[in-house]
Amino acid sequence: MTDALFAPASRLADQRLPALLEQCAALHAHLCPRQVLGVRMGLLGGRLLGLEVPQTDKRLLAFVETDGCAADGVAVATGCTVGHRTLRVIDYGKVAVTLVDSRTERAFRIAPSPHSRALALTYAPDARSRWHAQLFAYQIMPDDELLVAQPVTLRVSLEALLSKPGRRVTCEVCGEEIINEREVVHEGTVLCRACAGERYYDPSP
């Protein structure tokens, strides 16, 4: 019966998986199929772009399309993190990521193949649950059965996204500091996005 969390080394799609999955599970306090998907997507992205991952610089950028387990997998595999400003969550509620080489602007969007769930069962027919089958199979399935990758062109400007480091202004309404050129200038007044009306919260009475 297949109920081990880690697939045997001889069957792994990538020998880097155990170390990365352990790192991810530690972040997460558990290991789950979506973390494996995230790690696999990150590794494939690195390979497609010809960049070594996990990166030690900030060349690779990741746009993950949901928060949660898969995002942690992508972060661990690629070295892209929110803290390094190399990981953005575009919340579509989808397990998918676009990985971008910021130097060349080449980009690939990677998502699980529509058949990956069904195929997983054939890779672990005696698993004790679908969850265990996925966890196991996602570690051993070849990339072309597990994932689909499509070259894409970003519709957002990397220059605007990354902005000028060190730039800093003050909101003329709330007085808070705004970095990374995220201010809005309205009729000559410098405003933060909250004061410009995009606030996601209301002060409690």
Site for Zn ion, rule CB under 5 A = 32, 69, 171, 173-174, 192, 195
Q: Which is nearer to Zn ion, 13 or 69 (CB)?
A: 69
Helix pair angle (33-49, 130-140), 10° resolution: 20
> In whole angstroms, how close is the CB of 176 to Zn ion at the nearest point?
5
CA terminus-to-terminus distance, the chain: 58
Q: Which is nearer to Zn ion, 87 or 100 (CB)?
A: 87
β 87-89/60-64 pair status: parallel
Q: Which is nearer to Zn ion, 32 or 107 (CB)?
A: 32
The helix/strand/coil state of 56 is coil
Q: Which is nearer to Zn ion, 37 or 51 (CB)?
A: 37
CB 110 within 8 A of CB 97: yes
> In whole angstroms, how close is the CB of 20 to Zn ion at the nearest point?
14
> In whole angstroms, how close is the CB of 174 to Zn ion at the nearest point?
3
Tokens of 42: 């990150």
> In whole angstroms, how close is the CB of 186 to Zn ion at the nearest point?
11
CB 95 within 8 A of CB 70: yes
Phi and psi at residue 20, to the nearest 5°: -65, -40
